[in-house]
Amino acid sequence: MVKICCIGAGYVGGPTMAVIALKCPAIEVAVVDISVSRIAAWNSDHLPIYEPGLDDVVKSCRGKNLFFSTDVEKHVAEADIIFVSVNTPTKTRGLGAGKAADLTYWESAARMIADVSKSDKIVVEKSTVPVKTAEAIEKILTHNSKGVKYQILSNPEFLAEGTAIEDLFAPDRVLIGGRETPDGQRAIKALKEVYAHWVPEERILCTNLWSAELSKLAANAFLAQRISSVNAMSALCEATGADVAQVSHAVGKDTRIGHKFLNASVGFGGSCFQKDILNLVYICECNGLPEVANYWKQVIKVNDYQKTRFVNRIVSSMFNTVSGKKIAVFGFAFKKDTGDTRETPAIDVCKGLLGDKAHLSIYDPQVTEEQIQRDLSMDKFDWDHPVHLQPMSPSSVKSVSVVWDAYEAAKGAHGLCILTEWDEFKNLDYKKIYDNMPKPAFLFDGRNVVDPQKLREIGFIVYSIGKPLDSWLKDMPAMA
């Protein structure tokens, strides 16, 4: 019986291993983590992450061939294939601060594998890592090998949150990179056989190590670039009276471009896009390619510009001050159908409004008050470290209240911002909301989920990203 162990029970490790266990009943899968509370949650009825379809998969395999444990060393020692999906945060100090990936957790995982292994292992990189990490890991393992043979593979994940289980069941591609030696090819074949239980062979791509590592960074950079491209257009649409939805529809009709990822918004978020591009920028700089580095930097600059522009639009529309005013925030997760708030644009928008002394009332159907308070009081890259290494008790931000009902959030608010495209926000009774707000009542739609015309008929002053401006806003400067 093949035994698989995954180090790291997070957004990648948990769902990926659950699906492997479901599709390969003959393989024993253990997910290990040093966080006792996280493993306890995976073994309970309330899983630590929200992902449609995940509960059913976990519950059908848990205790049969899927196990969640804090006994890291035992499971690593017994495994034939070890997946490593630990945090790779952006460094906050030292060489490459603000750009380079911090491989501290990766390195300690590699050293622990070398310490406890008694039999040959295939070690699989699942975390997003900078290109050439495999080489460093290989050196650590071989220098501490004690006669054990290791093969390193890169098998990046391409999951989209909110559809992770669908993506795992029917992936566009599974990418496996390994050494071009006989042992390396045998390791690739072993991992390919696991995925071949349910993934058609033509979708399993085998490459060299560096291509696999770089493909993940490149894929995220291309996706983020599309969002920044359409967001840059949204600013021009507002300035000229064009409608970004019509422009992106026309552009997306070109089959070479396609329609996906062309929705203008307040900005992209999520744990990977910004981190991976910063990483790509750093790798380009280290390889003496400043022009390439600057090209990719611009994707992040436009994303930051879009968030700043949104905050400035709110403040300038509301008589150039939000001081002491209640602002309702609908949505805090970085996109709908997930409770994930990592790098969500809502953090920067809320911080911008708090900087102008606004009082925020936040409602998100999947994000807890504790999480929101933690996000608003943390420094930029702190979120990507394991919870026990994050600041212990975040000082709660006094002018923020978190409520569990959209109508409650909007009651008495001067303005309302939509920051996540949850479906329920399309169907709220906006007449009822309008009646309970001081006038003039402002609505700032950062996701283009509501129909601005209908809301103007109710009486709202509406700002929708990239749409022709309300006559009220035309006289206001775009950048306060």
- Residues marked active site are found at 272
Burial class (CB in 10 A: 0-12, 13-18, 19+), 144: middle
130: preceding bond cis by omega (within 30 degrees): no
Which 3 state secondary structure label does DSSP give 468?
A: coil
Per DSSP, helices labelled H in 62-179 are 72-78, 104-116, 133-143, 164-169
Q: Assign 123 to helix, strand or coil.
A: strand
Per-position DSSP letters for 25-54, written without gaps between them: TTSEEEEE-S-HHHHHHHTSSS-SS--TTH
Tokens 């420094």 sit on residue:
379
* Widest distance between CA atoms in the chain: 76
Contact 221, 277 (CB under 8 A): yes
What span, in angstroms and rounded, lies between the C-alpha atoms of 343 and 90?
A: 12
Report how many helices (DSSP H) and strands (DSSP E) the chain contains, helices first.
18, 14
Could you tell me the CA-to-CA distances from 236 to 25, 89, 468 in Å, in that order? 54, 34, 10
Alpha-carbon distance of 114 to 470, in angstroms, equals 63
Beta-carbon contacts of 246 under 8 Å, excluding residues fewer than 6 positions away, are none
Rounded Cα–Cα distance for residues 375 and 300 (Å): 20
* DSSP tag of 203: G
- Phi, psi (degrees; rounded to nearest 5) at 44: -105, -170
Question: Helical H runs in 267-358?
Answer: 273-286, 290-317, 345-355
Residue with tokens 């700089």, as numbered in its chain: 285
Residue with tokens 């509406």, as numbered in its chain? 462
CA proximity to 439, closest of 391, 407, 472 = 472
